[in-house]
């Protein structure tokens, strides 16, 4: 038990001392994750909204596919991205493998289906609720989609936060395509795995504490946004 409390105390000491190595790892993690979530939302929000509003052949298949891709195995995504970016792959000349850009691509592929599928459900439910009003006003499908995206903005922020939570905890894909290179591609999750195997439990636990703090913060933001949406609805 003394060893546990010693490690725990050392971990909190690193956090409160703002250890430079710790801050570098956290900073890279946040940059990679936020960039990946931004591009995932840029693709996933309009894609999900379009599937939720428009009627076209293959719509049901696309909806099922988006839902299925929410459970994409991260290691499979990492392997595919690795093969695409490797020297013998089609994007090898770009030299993106073992860089933060490769990690962003992998996380974006994982998060985009989540954002798109959740957006489709939110927008489709609203579209069904407002169907009669839209029909009476003669609103076209595109205008309807844009209106529903705005009306669902609080719920869609929750969707984005869900994507962020998924991305920030990712380890398998970013380890494969990033290589966990010190001062280059070492993020919180991969560092926790590495430092635990090396026996450097203080740094690993310090990063774990930060990840938990981020998880609690994301949950608090989601709850606050939901409460704000409810107040706005009855204002």
In this predicted model, what pLDDT tens digit does every residue of 36-86 receive, in sequence order?
A: 999 999 999 999 999 988 888 988 899 999 999 998 899 999 999 999 999
In this predicted model, what pLDDT tens digit does every residue of 185-218 receive, in sequence order?
A: 999 999 888 888 888 888 888 888 888 888 888 8
Measured distance CA(61)–CA(220) in Å, rounded: 35
Whether 177 contacts 98, CB under 8 Å = yes
pLDDT value of position 1: 45
pLDDT at 17 exceeding the cut of 90:
no
User: Could you give the dihedral angle defined by the CA atoms of residues 220, 223, 224 and 227, in that order, rounded to the nearest 10 degrees?
Assistant: -160
- CA 190 to chain CA mean position, Å: 16
E-strand stretches of 146-200: none
In this predicted model, what pLDDT tens digit does every residue of 81-129 receive, in sequence order?
A: 999 999 888 998 999 999 999 999 999 999 999 999 999 999 998 888 8
Measured distance CA(157)–CA(22) in Å, rounded: 29
Measured distance CA(135)–CA(232) in Å, rounded: 25
Neighbours of 62 (CB within 10 A): 16
pTM of the model: 0.88
């Amino acid at each position: 038990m003394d060893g546990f409390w010693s490690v725990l105390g050392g971990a909190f000491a690193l956090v409160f001392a703002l250890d430079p190595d710790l801050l570098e790892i956290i900073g890279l993690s946040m940059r990679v994750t936020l960039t990946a979530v931004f591009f995932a939302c840029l693709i996933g929000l309009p894609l999900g909204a379009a599937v939720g509003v428009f009627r076209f052949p293959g719509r049901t298949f696309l909806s099922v596919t988006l839902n299925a891709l929410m459970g994409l195995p991260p290691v499979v995504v990492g392997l595919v991205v690795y093969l695409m970016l490797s020297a013998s792959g089609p994007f090898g000349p770009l030299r993106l493998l073992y860089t933060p850009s490769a990690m962003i691509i992998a996380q974006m592929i994982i998060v985009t289906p989540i954002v798109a599928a959740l957006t489709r459900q939110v927008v489709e439910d609203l579209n069904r609720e407002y169907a009669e009003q839209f029909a009476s006003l003669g609103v076209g499908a595109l205008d309807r989609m844009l209106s529903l995206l705005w009306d669902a903005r609080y719920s869609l922020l929750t969707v984005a936060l869900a994507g962020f939570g998924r991305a920030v905890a990712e380890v398998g894909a970013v380890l494969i395509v990033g290589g966990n290179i010190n001062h280059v591609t070492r993020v919180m999750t991969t560092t926790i795995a590495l430092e635990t195997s090396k026996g450097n439990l203080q740094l690993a636990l310090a990063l774990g504490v930060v990840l938990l703090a981020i998880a609690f913060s994301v949950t608090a933001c989601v709850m606050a946004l939901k409460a704000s949406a409810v107040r706005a609805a009855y204002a």
